[in-house]
Amino acid sequence: MSGIARWSDLAPRVISAAVMIVLGAIALRLGGIVFAMGVWALAGVMTWELTRMFAPGQGWLAVGLGCFAAAALAFAWLLPGALALPLLLAAALTGMSRMERDRYRFGGYAAAILVGCHVMILLRDVIGPGWVLWLICVVIASDVAGYFVGRSLGGPKFWPRISPKKTWSGTIGGWVAAGLVGLVFGLWFGAGAALAPVSVIVAFAGQMGDILESALKRRAGVKDSSNIIPGHGGVLDRFDAMLGAALIVGLLWALRLAPGLA
């Protein structure tokens, strides 16, 4: 691959990322219903994209399940914590019942979208914007470092059968960047250096979320989940790592294993 071709997608990726960062920062700062509605919308679009991959040609079904996912998250936001999870899982099962093939794969990933998005909203509402910012920074740092280190150094592939572009050098570069982010936020939160290894675990979960979505796309025979975001593909392509990271943070939070996250 020539040097120019290797970096040909950088400009649209940077511009799109800048727009998403600005909009995300505004929503995170405002919090409340504004942040929640933004996450609901993202979940709806991701579910729409997921349905298009599993049920190609059924446009109205994709739109319907996308709206249903967003509505389920909105109702879950109004419910006590103990009732939110069953509602979200029921919504995923409802979508799963409409699939003619790969039902369990669809149901599992739909549940990951709904639960991961709900965790993001709870983090902002219950703990505060700082912890959401930490999660986002860990994922972004891991992704950006993985992109530049992987493109610059190359080397052996991390999982060539599923994601042929990812390398071990980029993966490890992402872990290092996530650990540094954890150190900075650990000092800010008073959690100390213990947040660094937790951040590496969160980054790894994000990378696995990316790998899993790549596997689903490969099975569906598509390159991107959609073409909504220039340089990035679809919303699911951009937030797959965030979902994986949010799920592991939700688990660590529930088990009280993340230092400073109580």
* pLDDT tens per residue across span 184-221: 999 998 888 999 999 999 999 999 998 899 889 988 88
Per-residue exposure over 183-220, b if at least 16 CB sit within 10 Å of its own CB, e if not: bebbeebebeeebbebbbbbbbbbbbbbbbbbebbeeb
Measure the CA angle with vertex 231, ends 171 and 7; round to 5°: 65
pLDDT digits (tens, 9 = 90+) for 44-65: 999 999 999 999 889 899 999 9
Mean pLDDT, residues 98-110: 93
**CB under 8 Å to 17, separation ≥6 — which residues?**
231, 232
Whether 39 and 73 have beta carbons less than 8 Å apart is answered as yes
- Give the pLDDT confidence of 159-190 residue by residue, as tens digits: 777 777 778 888 899 999 999 999 999 999 88
Q: pLDDT higher for 158 or 179?
A: 179
Distance separating alpha carbons of residues 194 and 252, to the nearest angstrom:
13
Token pair, residue 154, equals 């190359």
DSSP 57-109: T-HHHHHHHHHHHHHHHHHHHHS-HHHHHHHHHHHHHHHHHT-SS-HHHHHHH
Distance CA 82, CA 206 (A): 26
* 204: nearest Cα among 159, 254, 156, 255: 159
Reduce the DSSP state of residue 55 to 3 states and report it: coil
How far is the C-alpha of 172 from the C-alpha of 120, rounded, in Å? 26
pLDDT of 152: 81
Instruction: List strand residue ranges (DSSP E) for 53-203, in order.
Output: 157-159, 163-167
What's this model's pTM, rounded to 2 decimal places?
0.90
The amino acid that residue 160 corresponds to is P
Domain ranges for the chain:
31-127, 128-262
Q: What is the CA radius of gyration of the chain?
A: 18
| Statement: residue 1 has pLDDT above 50 | no
- 88-100: average pLDDT: 94
Answer whether residue 15 shows pLDDT above 50: yes
